[in-house]
Chains A and B, each alone.
Chain A
């Protein structure tokens, strides 16, 4: 498939650092995608609602507060509960290595830490958009493997 995607970039939880999210949003825009930025301190419900309203295919979650172990799986579950099984979830921010496999198991398909080249995120979007790797799929594919 490839081509232009609609991507929600979201800041879940109580975390006021959005430089990273804005840089990613800008890079995705410059890569030809339509990016909807949610602004700071969104709840999982609000983020899922935004994905529904905006008919997005991807959602990128940025967290630097340490609450990712709670927030990311919760958002994945709410997406599945809402029938949005084809939406692809990726994450970024400060996500320690030890936490990652659990997040992948919960439905996150890629995690991009500090220093990730923006071209890599664009590559991920392109590859993932032609795969059946939505949050509700049984595929255990993840970026970087």
Chain B
């Protein structure tokens, strides 16, 4: 069992900071476990200044306090570190390994910004975007180019005013698509809509357009790792900087 044939079992949950991704995952884990075993890989950004990272997603997981459920959960924080190529391939290997360890479901949680995070999320085969109220209009998500990847959109914080307006805006803006993703309204705080969300996740179909967008990301990731993993990569960079080797020529040497 690997990433490539675990259809419908690897979920990316992505969305801007503060919309409640971690709380939603907690709520989902409460429903899924102990019936299913679930591994969560939480990807957080590395500070570009220090190279360090503060990985705090565990704090939200009240489900880990429940011994009966926590035994069927694995939770691992991953920092993006510096290279946009290496972390997604680590997340892919980690996902493969977790599937081999017989986890039923793997959830990859990321902030939906930045190339590295986007590629981590593209390893999944079901893509969920979390939105929330008071974040400007629905155009923000379109700007980020995220909606094309989505199989499901969750508008969280339904208990807060303005959340229904976000649902409506998204519906209008997605209505021009051929196969628009489903939109679900939830509140991780009150529990509203969580049953519906879990049900939808377990039966979620892959959209043709999101599949294509994901394969695009995966192809780019594979291409980049061919470059970065070439044993001559550093030598070629030296030759570019010291001997005036052209970029085009360098690329040709690295790929051949």
Contacts and interface: CB of A to CB of B under 8 A. Distances in A.
B64 A36 contact: no
Interface of B is mostly: mixed
B51 interface: yes
A37 B76 contact: no
B59 A34 contact: no
Interface string A100-139: 0000000000000000000000000000000000000000
A35 B50 contact: no
Given A36-B55, A36-B58, A37-B55, A31 B77 contact: no
B244 interface: no
A30 B52 contact: yes
A74 interface: no
A38 to B, nearest CB: 6
Contact of A32 (B51, B64, B70, B74): B51
Interface of A: 4, 25-26, 28-39, 46, 49-50, 53-55
28 contacts: A4-B51, A25-B54, A26-B54, A29-B47, A29-B52, A29-B53, A30-B50, A30-B52, A31-B50, A31-B52, A32-B50, A32-B52, A34-B53, A34-B79, A35-B54, A36-B77, A37-B54, A37-B55, A37-B56, A37-B58, A39-B56, A39-B59, A46-B64, A46-B65, A53-B74, A53-B75, A54-B55, A54-B76
Given A35-B52, A38-B58, 9 more contacts: A26-B54, A28-B52, A29-B50, A35-B55, A37-B56, A39-B59, A46-B65, A50-B58, A54-B77
